[in-house]
Amino acid sequence: MQRQLLSIRAPAQKYDAIRRFRRRETLRIGARDLTGGATVEETTLELSNLADVCLQSVFEIALGSLRAQYRLKPNAALATDRFSIIGMGKLGGQELNYSSDVDVIFIYGEEGILTATLTNHQFFTKLAEESFGLSLHPVRGEYLPHRSPTATRGEIWSAGAVAG
């Protein structure tokens, strides 16, 4: 997935590439499933891995967009090594099925000041909204990377958590 996104500059085009990748991979997984080429466990693992790859890709695009928006240098220390997206429920258990919601929790390391007008909390809240906001607003009826319960409620919960 990362190789496919390297030559694409515009975030919207990158998101479209992720959608195409997800559709293609879901079709491949489904065909293997329907022909008896995979067990239920293998299928749910592949669907979970696909969601992981899509979430990672969306996160990286969102991070790049926010870096550009706030004019942060690529090597600026953002403590992103202390930012995590934790899969809960079926995603966390690697048991996604074709119609599963994706439940995640966003956590970041510590509060601090990123710029004169932007705290870590504000930045990481925007990062979570940018990453999962795509689940709130489907394009052509399709959620990216997957539908989330947030999409049906139309809200993003904002909470800071300290990773120890």
Q: What is the pLDDT of residues 97-133, one digit of tens each?
A: 998 888 888 888 888 888 888 888 888 888 888 887 6
* Domain ranges across the chain: 2-153
Query: Taking the model in full, what pTM does it have?
Result: 0.78
According to DSSP, the residues that pair with 139 across neighbouring strands are 142
Contact 44, 95 (CB under 8 A): yes
Model confidence at 152: pLDDT above 50: no
CA dist., res. 129 & res. 117, Å (int): 18
Q: What is the pLDDT of residues 68-103, one digit of tens each?
A: 888 887 666 665 557 888 899 999 999 999 988 888
CATH class of the domain at 2-153: alpha beta
Strand 103-108, strand 118-119: pairing = unpaired
